[in-house]
Amino acid sequence: MLAPLLTKGRKMLLDRLKPRFSEAVNSIHLIGLSCNTVPPEKYGGIELIIANLARGFVSNKLKVRVYSPGSLGIEGCDHSQTLQEPTKGIQQSLVANSHEHLLRIASELRKNCRPGDVIIFNHAEHFRFLKKRLGRLFFAKVRSFEIAHWLDAGLYRDVIYPSVALKKFLKKDGHVIAHGEDLLLSNEQTKRGSHLLYAGRITEDKGVHLAAAACEEIGCRLRIAAPQSNTEFFDSILEHPNVDYLGELTYPALFKEYQEAKAFIYLTQYEEPFGLAVVESMAAGCPVITSGRGGTGETVVHGQTGFFCSSISAVVEAYTEVETLSFSNIVGQARKYSVDRMVESYISLIKHGRPNE
C-alpha cells in the first residue's frame, strides 16, 4: 500500500512544480541533431525547420538558444555549440545524435535553463537520453515539447505533429502544426520538360524504385536530387537506365529543377511525417504525383495540385493529366505553408496551450 501512495505523492509534487502556460515566455531552447548544422548547408529538413523557428521566434522578440554542431547561421540567437563539426549525415550513418553531442546538450541545458523555460526537442533520442541524465526534477521545472519528424517520439505528451496522419499513427497526446518554409515562389508558369523529378533521401521507403520503374514504363527520364548514400539500394537506383543523378543541390538550384520538371514524383511508402519537398515543388508551380501517404495526403489536393497514385499504371495515367492542373492553384496551395503561419501557431501553443486554428 505504501509504494503506490509514494508514487502518487511524487507525481502530485512534480505536477505542482510543472510550469503552466502563460503569456510570459522565458528562453526557448531548440535542440538540434549532431549530423548537421543549423541551418543546413544543403540537405536537412529538421535543421531547416529549427532555423525557421529560431528566426521566427527572434523576430517576435523572444529569447532563443540553439544547440547544434558547427557554427550557427542565424542572427539574434544564442548558440551552444555541441561539436566543432557535424558528424556524418544520416545518409552515411544511422547515428543522428552522437553520445558526445547529447552529453554537451545536457551540460549546456543544466547551465542555461531557468524555471519556466521552453525546450523543443527534434528527435526521439533527445528527451529519452536527457531525462536519464538531468533527472525528473529538472524537467518538472521546464516546459518540454517535441516535434515528431520521425515515426517515433520520446515524449509521451506535448508532441507537435506536422500532420494529422502522423498523430494518428503515433497515438500520443499532442498538437498538429504543419511545417512552414521560407519558400521561393513562381510568379508565372515556365516551359516544362518531359522528365519527372524526385528530391529527398534515396531509400526504399521513399518509393524511389517505383518512381524509376514508372519512368521506364512512361519512357521518360527521372532526375534525382539527393545526398550521397553508401547503400546497395542507392547504387541500384543510380544504375537504373532512366535515372539522371544530380547530386545534393542547394534550394535555389533545386527550385530551378522544380520549375523545369513535368511533375514532381514522391511515392512515399510509409506514413510520411510531412514532406517538405512536396511543398517546395508546388511553390515552383510543379504538380505532384504522390502516394498520398502521411503528410502528402494533406499538403497535396488530389485533382487540383497533383494526383494520388497507388500503382505504376496510375502514375502513367497521372503523367498524361498533370498539364490540366491549374498553375495558380498549385502555387496557391504552397503559400499556405509559410514560416509566419507556423511560428504564430507555435507561439500560441507555448503561451496559451493550443496552436492557432
Average pLDDT of adjacent 10-residue blocks, the chain of 357 residues: 50 47 78 95 91 98 97 96 85 77 98 96 97 96 96 96 98 97 93 96 96 98 94 96 96 97 98 97 98 98 98 98 97 98 97 88
CA–CA distance, 157 with 172 (Å, rounded to integer): 6
Q: Is residue 300 part of a domain?
A: yes
Alpha-helix runs per DSSP H in the chain = 2-17, 45-59, 99-112, 124-134, 136-140, 164-170, 208-218, 232-238, 251-260, 276-283, 296-299, 312-321, 327-335, 339-352
pLDDT score, position 11 = 47
Q: Is residue 217 part of a domain?
A: yes
Q: Is residue 190 part of a domain?
A: no
Q: Is residue 293 part of a domain?
A: yes
Residues facing 81 on adjacent strands: 68
**244 lies in the same domain as 172:** no
**37 lies in the same domain as 145:** yes
pLDDT score, position 25 = 76
| Residue span of the structural domain in which 209 resides | 196-335
pLDDT score, position 17 = 43
pLDDT score, position 24 = 66
**201 lies in the same domain as 145:** no
pLDDT score, position 41 = 85
Q: Is residue 2 part of a domain?
A: no
Angle at the Cα of 306 from the Cα atoms of 305 and 308, rounded to 5 degrees = 140
State pTM to two decimals: 0.91
pLDDT score, position 103 = 98
Q: Is residue 9 part of a domain?
A: no
**98 lies in the same domain as 178:** yes
**48 lies in the same domain as 162:** yes
**88 lies in the same domain as 144:** yes
pLDDT score, position 159 = 98
**145 lies in the same domain as 110:** yes
Residue identified by cell 508532441 is 159
276-283 vs 251-260: helix crossing angle, rounded to 10: 60
CA–CA distance, 32 with 322 (Å, rounded to integer): 38
Count up the domains in the chain and report the number: 2
pLDDT score, position 48 = 96
pLDDT score, position 93 = 53
**177 lies in the same domain as 217:** no
pLDDT score, position 189 = 87
The answer to whether residues 286 and 263 touch, using CB atoms and an 8 Å cutoff, is yes
**40 lies in the same domain as 65:** yes
pLDDT score, position 285 = 97
Q: Is residue 298 part of a domain?
A: yes
Provide DSSP, 86-142: ----TTT-S-SS-HHHHHHHHHHHHHH--TT-EEEE-SHHHHHHHHHHH-HHHHHSS
| Domain harbouring 346, CATH code | 3.40.50.2000
**98 lies in the same domain as 212:** no
Q: Is residue 3 part of a domain?
A: no
The answer to whether residues 106 and 133 touch, using CB atoms and an 8 Å cutoff, is yes
pLDDT tens digits, 304-351: 999 999 999 999 999 999 999 999 999 999 999 999 999 999 999 999
Q: What's the grid cell of residue 272?
A: 510520411
